[in-house]
Amino acid sequence: DAGVIQSPRHEVTEMGQEVTLRCKPISGHDYLFWYRQTMMRGLELLIYFNNNVPIDDSGMPEDRFSAKMPNASFSTLKIQPSEPRDSAVYFCASSPVAKNIQYFGAGTRLSVL
């Protein structure tokens, strides 16, 4: 398996633009997680899915953020409109079972100017 695949690897955009981050989890993994990492706050959980259903989105900072998982092999995290404070590295991770080892994608480095 190729592991968790994220795209794009880098994204530079202007304030106010819509940003869409993509993730393909490891096949057969029932859990998918979206994280945001900054120097100040470390790794923060934004939302996670179980069998394509959002379970906990309490970490989503505000209504500008939304996430979907239309099928078991694809998820998106959308920011609309984007703001400079959204600049961070966004990681997607998947896991076969709850509370177990999570496998991370390479991340998307987002810069909002």
Contact positions toward other proteins, by CB under 8 A?
A: 31, 33, 35, 41-43, 45, 48, 50, 55-56, 91, 98-107
CB of 88 to other proteins, least distance (A): 13
Nearer to other proteins, 57 or 81 (CB): 57
Task: Count the neighbouring beta carbons within 10 Å of the beta carbon of residue 25.
Answer: 27
CB of 42 to other proteins, least distance (A): 4
H and E: helices and strands count for the chain: 0, 11
